[in-house]
C-alpha cells in the first residue's frame, strides 16, 4: 500500500472510548455517520495501528475497483436526475401529481354542491386513483434507478483505491490534483444522493397526502350519502362535532365520562368500540334533527339535543383563566350570603332598607312570572301546532321535578320573590309574555325553541338601528321649517343681563378683586321661583320657545329605531356634530329619558326571568348533591342545569349591557339631574354612591364582562352572584313588603320585624346544619352494628327494626311547617293588599301560634312513644337522658335562644356541649322532627307577639 493512498476515513480510538467494545464496531459506526454503507464491511480495508499503549489509530480504504470514465458518467447521471427533480420546471411525476391534486380539488367542489353523489363522481375518484398509481410507478422507477446508481458509486469509489496504487509515474502536483478531484467527486456524490433521496421522499409524501385527501373525500361522500345529506351539510355537522371539548361534553352527558377521561392508549378494545358507537349515534341524532330543522344552525341543534355549551368548540380562553380555590369558595359563599343579606338579617349584613320610589310598586314575581310564562307557553304551543313536521322536545326534560316558579322554595325564602319595578314596566310586562326565552315546562316544537335565542334578536336590532336610520336625516326631520340658530363657533352671547345694585356699586368703587368659582363643590340651593324667573327670561323669545316645543314634540313622535339612532349617536358623542347646538342640548334630556325608560323595561324583563331561573338552578344544584339519582336522572338534571344556566346567563348579559349603558349616560350627563338617580328593579344606578368593596366589585365586574364576552354560562351566573352581592351592600333594595307592613302597623323600627320574619329561613338553616354535621345517633349505630344492621338499612326500612315502628315524624312535621309558612305569607299578602285588617291578621296569627304549639306537643309525645318502645328492646338505651333532652327542646326557651341569637346562640351551644352524648342517642329523624316543630312554634310566637305589642303601642299613640 502506498503512503499516498488516501483513506476514506481515519481516526484514533482511545482506550476509554472503546469501553469493552470491538474497535471494528466503532469504525462501522463512524462509516455510517459519514454516509458510507456498511452492510458489507468486506468492501472496505480497515487498518489498525498502535499509537501508544492506550490508543489505536485506524484507516479505512475501499476495496472495489472501477474506472474514472464510469465514475464521471454515473456522476453525471445522478446530477441529471437531481436536476430533473429539483430544478426543472416540471418533471413528469410532478405534472401527474399536480393534475391529480387539481382533479381532487375540482371534485371536492363538485361534490359539495350536489345533493346526491352519482356514479360519475365515483368514477372520477377512481380516475384519481389511476393517476396516483401511475405517479407511484414512476417514482418507483426512480427509486430503483437511484439504488442502482448507489451500487455503482460503491464501485467508483473502489476504483479510487486502485488508482492510488499506481501513482509512481505521476508528479506530486498531478497526484494532489487527482486526490482533490476524487474528494470533490465524493462530496458531490454524497450531496446528490442525499438530495435525490429527499426529493423522492417528498414526492412520496405528496402522494400520501393526496391519497389521504382522496380517501377522506370518498369517505365523506359515502357517509353523507348514507345519512341522506349532501357533503357540505355532512362536513358542517362533522366539523362542529369534531371539536374534542364539545364531543367530550356530549359523551359525558351520555355517561361515558370514565372512558373519555382515560388516555387513548389506556382504553380497552371494548371501550374504544363503545366510544365509536356513541360518536356514530351522536352523528345520527344530530343529522336526524338537522334534516327536520335545516334552517337552524348545527350549534343550536346540538344545544337542544344535549344541552351542552356549544361555545366549547372554540378554544375558550376564559376557561383557562386562573381561578384560585379562594375565588371559588368566595363565589359559593357569596351565593349563600346574598340570600341572607337580601332577607335583611341585621346580624349578617350592613344593609339598611329604604323606601321605594313613588313611581314604583311591589310585584309578586311568582304570579308575574307564571302569568308571563303561561302566555308564553300558550304562544309556543299554539305556534308549534301550526307548524308541520314539528319535533317534540326531549320528554326527559318534562319529567324533571325541578320546582316550578309557584312552589319554588327560593321564592318563598328569598326576598327576591318581590321585586320593585316601575308601574310602566309592570303594565308592559303583564300585557305580553317574556319574549325570547325558552320555556322548560312546555312540550314545544323544537323549531321554536331553536329559533328563540335572544342574542340573535338583539344583534339584529342593533344592525337594523345602525344600518337603516341616519342621524342627519332625523335631524332634518326634527328641524325642518324651524328657525334655529346654528352653534356659534366663535363665542357665546349673553343676553338679559341683570346685576344687583350692591354689586354694581362695589364694582364702581373697585374695592375688591374676585375669585370666580365655577365648579361649586358645595351643594348650592336656590328657590325655584328665581330659576323660573330666569327661565322665563330665557324663553321670552317666541321663536325660540315655539321651536323648542316643536322639536320636543317631533322627538316624541319618532319611532323607536329613530330614537335608538339618536341615542347611539348621543352615546358615541357624534350627536352634537349632526344637530344645531341648541337642539342638541334640548334633545339630551329627551334622549336620556327615552333611554332610561327603555332600559328599565328591558332590565325588568330580564329580572322577571332571571329570579325564578336562579331559584331553579339552586334547586337543581341541591337535587344533584343530595338526592339519590340514577345515572339517567342525573344526566337529565345536568342537562337541565346547563339549560337553566344558559338562560340565566343571557338575562344577566342583557342586564349588564343595560347597566353599562346607564353608566355611560351618567358619565355624559353628570350635570343633568334628571338622570342622577336612575332607579330600576330594585337597584340604584347612582354614581354618587360608593361600594364598600369597590376594588372587588371592579375586578368581578371585569371578569363578568369577560365571561359574558366568552358566553361562559356557568361563569356568568357565578360572577353575577359575586357582583350582585357587592352591589347589594349599597344598592340593593330588598323586599319592600316588610317596610310596608311596618308602615301599616305604625312601626317605627322594623328591624325586629325583619328579624322575626326571617326566622323561618334561620330555622331551615339550622336544620340544614344538623343534616350537614350529621348529629346521627352514634350510640344507636353501635347498637345496630352489634346486630349487623346499619343506620342506612334502618332509615330505608322506616325504622321497622325490632318492632320499632317509625312514625315518620318528618313526614308528619314537614308538611305542617310548609303549611305554617304558606299561611303566614298569605296573611302578610292579604294585609299588604288591604284585604285584611290588622286585627284579623293578628287573630289569624294567634291561631297559627296555637296550632304550632299543639303540633310541638304532639311531636314530642309521638317521639317519646317511639323511643320508649325501642328502649324496651334495648336495656342499654339511655331513655331518661333522651327524654330530658326532648323535654328541654320542646318546652324550654332553648330554641327561642337559638332562633333569636342564631348563628351564635350561646345558651344553645352550651347545652349542646353538655348533652352531646344524649343527643347522639336520638335518631336523626326524631331529632329533626322535634326541632322543626319547636322552631316553627318559636317563630310564629315571636312574630305574633311583636306585632301585637307594636299595634297596641300604635293604638295608644292614636288615642
Partner 1 sequence: MIVGFDGEKVILKKGDKEVSCDILFTFDCEDTMKSYIGYSNNEIASNDRKNIYISSYSPLSGDFKLHDISDQKEFDMILKVLENLSKDSEQEVNS
By CB under 8 A, name the binding residues for partner 1: 485, 487-488, 491-505, 507-508, 510, 512-520, 522-541, 544, 548, 581-582, 585-586, 589, 671-674
Measure the CA–CA gap between 657 and 709, rounded to whole angstroms.
11
In the numeric block, the cell 397526502 is attached to 209
Which of 650, 934, 901 minimizes the C-alpha distance to 767?
934
Choice between 338 and 575, CB closer to partner 1: 575
To the nearest 10°, the Cα dihedral for 38, 40, 42, 44? -30
- Give the 3-state secondary structure of 47-104: EEEECCCCCEEEEEEECCCCCHHHHHHHHHHHHHHHHHHHCCCCCHHHHHHHHHHHHH
What's the Cα-to-Cα distance from 54 to each of 11, 13, 26, 51, 369, rounded to whole Å?
14, 9, 16, 8, 96
Choice between 431 and 490, CB closer to partner 1: 490
Choice between 34 and 504, CB closer to partner 1: 504
Rounded to the nearest 10 degrees, the angle between the axes of helix 231-241 and helix 92-113 is 90
- For residue 570, the minimal CB distance to partner 1 (Å) is 15
The total of other beta-carbon atoms located within 10 Å of residue 691's CB is: 15
Choice between 387 and 532, CB closer to partner 1: 532
The total of other beta-carbon atoms located within 10 Å of residue 338's CB is: 23
Rounded to the nearest 10 degrees, the angle between the axes of helix 759-773 and helix 325-343 is 150
Choice between 87 and 498, CB closer to partner 1: 498
- For residue 530, the minimal CB distance to partner 1 (Å) is 5
- For residue 691, the minimal CB distance to partner 1 (Å) is 24
3-state secondary structure of 418: strand
Max Cα distance, the chain (Å): 147
What's the Cα-to-Cα distance from 562 to each of 392, 456, 570, 863, rounded to whole Å?
40, 21, 12, 72
- For residue 587, the minimal CB distance to partner 1 (Å) is 10
- For residue 532, the minimal CB distance to partner 1 (Å) is 8
What's the Cα-to-Cα distance from 139 to each of 91, 143, 201, 888, rounded to whole Å?
11, 6, 10, 97
Choice between 269 and 517, CB closer to partner 1: 517
Contact residues for 371 (Cβ-Cβ < 8 A; gap 6+): 430
Measure the CA–CA gap between 878 and 673, rounded to whole angstroms.
72
Q: Which three cell numbers, joined as nine digits, stand for 811? A: 313526614
CA 754 to chain centre: 36
- For residue 561, the minimal CB distance to partner 1 (Å) is 25
CA atoms lying within 13 Å on the CB side of residue 690: 3
- For residue 540, the minimal CB distance to partner 1 (Å) is 6
Choice between 600 and 669, CB closer to partner 1: 669
3-state secondary structure of 364: strand
- For residue 503, the minimal CB distance to partner 1 (Å) is 4
Measure the CA–CA gap between 420 and 599, rounded to whole angstroms.
15
- For residue 537, the minimal CB distance to partner 1 (Å) is 5
Measure the CA–CA gap between 445 and 188, rounded to whole angstroms.
75
Choice between 669 and 712, CB closer to partner 1: 669
Choice between 292 and 533, CB closer to partner 1: 533
- For residue 526, the minimal CB distance to partner 1 (Å) is 4
- For residue 536, the minimal CB distance to partner 1 (Å) is 8
Choice between 297 and 672, CB closer to partner 1: 672
Where do the H-state alpha helices sit in 293-324? 298-306
What's the Cα-to-Cα distance from 334 to each of 417, 624, 723, 789, rounded to whole Å?
19, 20, 9, 41
Measure the CA–CA gap between 163 and 178, rounded to whole angstroms.
9
Contact residues for 644 (Cβ-Cβ < 8 A; gap 6+): 402, 440, 613, 616, 617, 620
Contact residues for 758 (Cβ-Cβ < 8 A; gap 6+): 343, 344, 345
What's the Cα-to-Cα distance from 420 to each of 231, 360, 415, 737, 767, rounded to whole Å?
54, 6, 11, 10, 31
- For residue 487, the minimal CB distance to partner 1 (Å) is 7
Choice between 573 and 834, CB closer to partner 1: 573
- For residue 547, the minimal CB distance to partner 1 (Å) is 11
Choice between 101 and 581, CB closer to partner 1: 581
Choice between 242 and 543, CB closer to partner 1: 543
DSSP assigned state of 892 = S
Q: Which three cell numbers, joined as nine digits, stand for 901? A: 341569637
Choice between 87 and 503, CB closer to partner 1: 503
- For residue 505, the minimal CB distance to partner 1 (Å) is 8
Residues facing residue 680 across a β-bridge: 683
DSSP assigned state of 790 = -
- For residue 676, the minimal CB distance to partner 1 (Å) is 9
CA atoms lying within 13 Å on the CB side of residue 458: 13
Choice between 524 and 833, CB closer to partner 1: 524
Choice between 24 and 534, CB closer to partner 1: 534
Choice between 369 and 551, CB closer to partner 1: 551
- For residue 894, the minimal CB distance to partner 1 (Å) is 48
Measure the CA–CA gap between 350 and 751, rounded to whole angstroms.
12
- For residue 355, the minimal CB distance to partner 1 (Å) is 21
In the numeric block, the cell 482533490 is attached to 180
Choice between 449 and 547, CB closer to partner 1: 547
- For residue 569, the minimal CB distance to partner 1 (Å) is 19
Amino acid at each position: 500500500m502506498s503512503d499516498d493512498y488516501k483513506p476514506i476515513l481515519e481516526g484514533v480510538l482511545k482506550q476509554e472510548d472503546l469501553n469493552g467494545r470491538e474497535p471494528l464496531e466503532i469504525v462501522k459506526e463512524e462509516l455510517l455517520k459519514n454516509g458510507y454503507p456498511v452492510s458489507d464491511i468486506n468492501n472496505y480495508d480497515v487498518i489498525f495501528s498502535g499509537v501508544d499503549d492506550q490508543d489505536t489509530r485506524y484507516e479505512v480504504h475501499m476495496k472495489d475497483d472501477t474506472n474514472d470514465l464510469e465514475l464521471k458518467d454515473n456522476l453525471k447521471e445522478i446530477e441529471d436526475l437531481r436536476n430533473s427533480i429539483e430544478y426543472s420546471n416540471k418533471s413528469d411525476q410532478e405534472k401527474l401529481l399536480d393534475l391529480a391534486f387539481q382533479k381532487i380539488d375540482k371534485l371536492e367542489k363538485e361534490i359539495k354542491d350536489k345533493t346526491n353523489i352519482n356514479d360519475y363522481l365515483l368514477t372520477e375518484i377512481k380516475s384519481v386513483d389511476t393517476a396516483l398509481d401511475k405517479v407511484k410507478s414512476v417514482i418507483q422507477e426512480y427509486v430503483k434507478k437511484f439504488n442502482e446508481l448507489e451500487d455503482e458509486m460503491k464501485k467508483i469509489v473502489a476504483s479510487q483505491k486502485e488508482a492510488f496504487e499506481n501513482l509512481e509515474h505521476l508528479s506530486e502536483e498531478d497526484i494532489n490534483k487527482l486526490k482533490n478531484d476524487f474528494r470533490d467527486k465524493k462530496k458531490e456524490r454524497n450531496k446528490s444522493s442525499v438530495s435525490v433521496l429527499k426529493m423522492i421522499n417528498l414526492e412520496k409524501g405528496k402522494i400520501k397526502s393526496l391519497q389521504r385527501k382522496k380517501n377522506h373525500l370518498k369517505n365523506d361522500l359515502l357517509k353523507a350519502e348514507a345519512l341522506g345529506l349532501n357533503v357540505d351539510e355532512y362536513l358542517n355537522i362533522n366539523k362542529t362535532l369534531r371539536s374534542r371539548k364539545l364531543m367530550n361534553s356530549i359523551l359525558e352527558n351520555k355517561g361515558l365520562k370514565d372512558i373519555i377521561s382515560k388516555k387513548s392508549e389506556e382504553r380497552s378494545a371494548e371501550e374504544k368500540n363503545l366510544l365509536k358507537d356513541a360518536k356514530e349515534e351522536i352523528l345520527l341524532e344530530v343529522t336526524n334533527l338537522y334534516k327536520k330543522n335545516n334552517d337552524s344552525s348545527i350549534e343550536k341543534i346540538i344545544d337542544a339535543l344535549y344541552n351542552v355549551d356549544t361555545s366549547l368548540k372554540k378554544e375558550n380562553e376564559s376557561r383557562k383563566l386562573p381561578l384560585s380555590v379562594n375565588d371559588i369558595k368566595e363565589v359559593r359563599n357569596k351565593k349563600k350570603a346574598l340570600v341572607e343579606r337580601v332577607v335583611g338579617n341585621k346580624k349578617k349584613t350592613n344593609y339598611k332598607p329604604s323606601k321605594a320610589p313613588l313611581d314604583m310598586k311591589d310585584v309578586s314575581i311568582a304570579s308575574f312570572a307564571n302569568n308571563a310564562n303561561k302566555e308564553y307557553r300558550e304562544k309556543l304551543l299554539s305556534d308549534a301546532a301550526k307548524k308541520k313536521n314539528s319535533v317534540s322536545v326531549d320528554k326527559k326534560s318534562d319529567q324533571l321535578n325541578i320546582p316550578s316558579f309557584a312552589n319554588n322554595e327560593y321564592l318563598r325564602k328569598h326576598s327576591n320573590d318581590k321585586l320593585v319595578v316601575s308601574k310602566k314596566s309592570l303594565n308592559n310586562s303583564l300585557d305580553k309574555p317574556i319574549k325570547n326565552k325558552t320555556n322548560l315546562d312546555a312540550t314545544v316544537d323544537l323549531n321554536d325553541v331553536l329559533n328563540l335565542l335572544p342574542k340573535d334578536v338583539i344583534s339584529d336590532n342593533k344592525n337594523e338601528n345602525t344600518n337603516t336610520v341616519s342621524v342627519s336625516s332625523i335631524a332634518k326631520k326634527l328641524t325642518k321649517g324651524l328657525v334655529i340658530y346654528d352653534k356659534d363657533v366663535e363665542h357665546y352671547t349673553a343676553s338679559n343681563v341683570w346685576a344687583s345694585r350692591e354689586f354694581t356699586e362695589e364694582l364702581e368703587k373697585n374695592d375688591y378683586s374676585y375669585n370666580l368659582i365655577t365648579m361649586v363643590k358645595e351643594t348650592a340651593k336656590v328657590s325655584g321661583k328665581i330659576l323660573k324667573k330666569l327661565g322665563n327670561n330665557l324663553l321670552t323669545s317666541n321663536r325660540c320657545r315655539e321651536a323648542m316645543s316643536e322639536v320636543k314634540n317631533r322627538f316624541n313622535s319618532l319611532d323607536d329605531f329613530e330614537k335608538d339612532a339618536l341615542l347611539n349617536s348621543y352615546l358615541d358623542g357624534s350627536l352634537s356634530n349632526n344637530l344645531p347646538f341648541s337642539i342638541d342640548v334640548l334633545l339630551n334630556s329627551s334622549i336620556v329619558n327615552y333611554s332610561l325608560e327603555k332600559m328599565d323595561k328591558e332590565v325588568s324583563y330580564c329580572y322577571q326571568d332571571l329570579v325564578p331561573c336562579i331559584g331553579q338552578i339552586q334547586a337543581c344544584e341541591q337535587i344533584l348533591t343530595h338526592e339519590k339519582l340514577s345515572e339517567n336522572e342525573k344526566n337529565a338534571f345536568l342537562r337541565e342545569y346547563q339549560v337553566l344556566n344558559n338562560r340565566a346567563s343571557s338575562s344577566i348579559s342583557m342586564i349588564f349591557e343595560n347597566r353599562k349603558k346607564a353608566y355611560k349616560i351618567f358619565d355624559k350627563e353628570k350635570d343633568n339631574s334628571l338622570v342622577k338617580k336612575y332607579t330600576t328593579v330594585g337597584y340604584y344606578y347612582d354614581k354618587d354612591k360608593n361600594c364598600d368593596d369597590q376594588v372587588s366589585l371592579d375586578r368581578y365586574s371585569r371578569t363578568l364582562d369577560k365571561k359574558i364576552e366568552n358566553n361562559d354560562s356557568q361563569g356568568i351566573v357565578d360572577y353575577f352572584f359575586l357582583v350582585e352581592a357587592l352591589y347589594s351592600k349599597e344598592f340593593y333594595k330588598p323586599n319592600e313588603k316588610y317596610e310596608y307592613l311596618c308602615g301599616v302597623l305604625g312601626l317605627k323600627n322594623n328591624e325586629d320585624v325583619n328579624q322575626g320574619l326571617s326566622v323561618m329561613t334561620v330555622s331551615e338553616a339550622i336544620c340544614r346544619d344538623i343534616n350537614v354535621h350529621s348529629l346521627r345517633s352514634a350510640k344507636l349505630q353501635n347498637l345496630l352494628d352489634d346486630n349487623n344492621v346499619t343506620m342506612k338499612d334502618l332509615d330505608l326500612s322506616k325504622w321497622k327494626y325490632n318492632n320499632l315502628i317509625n312514625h315518620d315524624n318528618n313526614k308528619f312535621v314537614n308538611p305542617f311547617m310548609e303549611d305554617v309558612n304558606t299561611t303566614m305569607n298569605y296573611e302578610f299578602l292579604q294585609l299588604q293588599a288591604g284585604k285584611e285588617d290588622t286585627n284579623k291578621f293578628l287573630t289569624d296569627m294567634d291561631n297559627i301560634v296555637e296550632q304550632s304549639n299543639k303540633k310541638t306537643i304532639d311531636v314530642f309525645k309521638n317521639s317519646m312513644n317511639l323511643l320508649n318502645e325501642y328502649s324496651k328492646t334495648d336495656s342499654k338505651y339511655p331513655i331518661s337522658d333522651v327524654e330530658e333532652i326532648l323535654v328541654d327542646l320542646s318546652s324550654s326557651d332553648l330554641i327561642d335562644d337559638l332562633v333569636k341569637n342564631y348563628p351564635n346562640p350561646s345558651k344553645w351551644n352550651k347545652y349542646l356541649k353538655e348533652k352531646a352524648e344524649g343527643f347522639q342517642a336520638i335518631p336523626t329523624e326524631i331529632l329533626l322532627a322535634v326541632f322543626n316543630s319547636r322552631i316553627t312554634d318559636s317563630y310564629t310566637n315571636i312574630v305574633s307577639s311583636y306585632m301585637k305589642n307594636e299595634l297596641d303601642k300604635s293604638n295608644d299613640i292614636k288615642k
